[in-house]
Amino acid sequence: MRELSVSTTRRTELVDVTGEVQDALGSGDGRLAVVFVPHTTAGLVVQAHGEGATKVAADIERALERIVGETWSWQHADEGDRNPWSHVRAALTASSLAIPVVDGRLALGDLQAIFLCEFDGPRTRRLLVELV
């Protein structure tokens, strides 16, 4: 298993980690890449990126901020939680992804990318990558 470190710069931010995940696969032999984010205030998504889709990540960031507001009356804030919205935003994404690997490469579509979704940044996040 490989561990990646990803630094974020904003409270809510999608960071393309496709290249880092591909590099973490190395020259290993496997048919499935599993990516896991071991945090309750961050997530993972596969989404459009690249020519013609450069603003998708920013739109998703804004949409999640609108769908899950930081100023709402959060019940678990009464328990001392300082970032309750980030848990709910993370619940709308995935904590792990399984992506086929063909000839050593992630079998993503032409415009697909893997994004780390930060919901309580800026922080340094860990990603675990395993080739199965």
Q: Please, what is the average pLDDT of the chain?
A: 95
Domain membership of residue 49 as a residue range:
2-70+79-131
pTM of the model: 0.94
Contact present, 102 and 50 (Cβ < 8 Å): no
Give 105-125 as a 3 state SS string. Answer: EECCCCCEEEEEEECCCCCEE
pLDDT of residue 7: 98
pLDDT digits over 13-32, tens only?
999 999 999 999 998 889 99
Please confirm whether the linkage preceding 122 is cis (ω < 30° from 0).
yes
Q: What CATH number does residue 114 fall under?
A: 2.60.120.460
Q: Give the model confidence (pLDDT) of 72-96 as tens digits.
A: 888 877 787 789 999 999 999 999 9
**d(C-alpha 75, C-alpha 7), whole Å:** 29
Measured CA to CA, the distance from residue 119 to residue 43 in angstroms comes to: 8
Domain count, the chain: 1
